[in-house]
Amino acid sequence: MKTIDLSIKIGFCQLDELSEDEQHLIQTAISATGNSYSPYSKFRVGAALLLANGVEVMGANQENAAFPSGLCAERSAIFAAQSTYPDQPITLLAIAAANEYGLMRDPIVPCGACRQVILEIESRYNQPIRILLYGTSGVYVIDTVKDLLPLQFVGESMK
Ligand code: THU
């Protein structure tokens, strides 16, 4: 059997190496962690996205006593943005998280379901979304969600 080598490269940098827009969006994601409703996990996730029209939209994880009824921060932000601005591509997405001790040192990455939803938005607008994953130790910079989902299932896959 042959093997197929799928390799990815992601960036790692400090906040001050990012553009002003990117730094601002990360600050918005950090402040969105304060809007998390997470009495069960006590893990506060904040997401912030920038639309092509320049509007920033926030999201935070929303939990529920019936666990699967909750929603991650990323999808909360994406669905709110697309519900309000259905024609606006998302250009940038920032994510931050905190536990009971404060902001996480290592960046957290979107869960599989959120990756799939981000992929649908990239595919819907035919435009990559730059993803900034914030940790107090630095920021992972990812140019497209395809780097987090190397084999992708999209609408085209069914044709
Ligand atoms: N969570 C997010 O909001 N985003 C992620 O990417 C990972 C997990 C939330 C879901 C749940 O409220 C808590 O973090 C613990 O899993």
pLDDT per residue as tens, the chain (159 positions) = 999 999 999 999 999 999 999 999 999 999 999 999 999 999 999 999 999 999 999 999 999 999 999 999 999 999 999 999 999 999 999 999 999 999 999 999 999 999 999 999 999 999 999 999 999 999 999 999 999 999 999 989 999
Asked if residue 5 belongs to a domain, the reply is no
Asked if residue 86 belongs to a domain, the reply is yes
Q: Which atom of ligand 1 is nearest to the CA of 63?
A: 12
Asked if residue 152 belongs to a domain, the reply is no
Catalytic residue among 74, 100, 122, 156: 74
Predicted local confidence at residue 146, as pLDDT: 97
Predicted local confidence at residue 145, as pLDDT: 98
Expressed as residue numbers, the domain containing 103 is 11-144
Predicted local confidence at residue 13, as pLDDT: 98
Asked if residue 150 belongs to a domain, the reply is no
Is 56 among the residues known to form the active site? no
The annotated binding site is made up of 72, 111, 114
φ/ψ (deg, to 5) at 76: -60, -45
Helices 73-84 and 112-125, axial angle in degrees (round to 10): 30
Q: What is the pLDDT of residues 115-138, one digit of tens each?
A: 999 999 999 999 999 999 999 999
Q: Is 51 helix (H, G, I), strand (E, B) or coil?
A: strand
Ligand 1 pocket test target in 63, 72, 76 with most atoms within 8 Å of CB: 72
Ligand 1 pocket test target in 42, 45, 132, 140 with most atoms within 8 Å of CB: 45
Asked if residue 112 belongs to a domain, the reply is yes
Asked if residue 57 belongs to a domain, the reply is yes
Structurally, how many domains does the chain consist of?
1
Asked if residue 3 belongs to a domain, the reply is no
Which residues lie below 8 Å from residue 24, measured CB to CB, with a gap of 6+?
56
Q: Is the CB of 38 under 6 A from ligand 1?
A: yes
Q: Ligand 1 centre and the CA of 2: distance in Å? A: 37
Asked if residue 58 belongs to a domain, the reply is yes
Length of the chain: 159
Residue 105 belongs to domain with CATH number: 3.40.140.10
User: Do 116 and 80 touch, CB atoms closer than 8 A?
Assistant: no
CA nearest ligand 1 atom 1, residue:
72
Q: Which residues of 97-129 are buried (b: 16+ CB within 10 A; e: fewer)?
A: bbeeeeebeebbbbeeebbbbbbbbbeeeeebb
Residue that is written with structure tokens 């002003």 in the block = 20
Q: Which atom of ligand 1 is nearest to the CA of 108?
A: 6
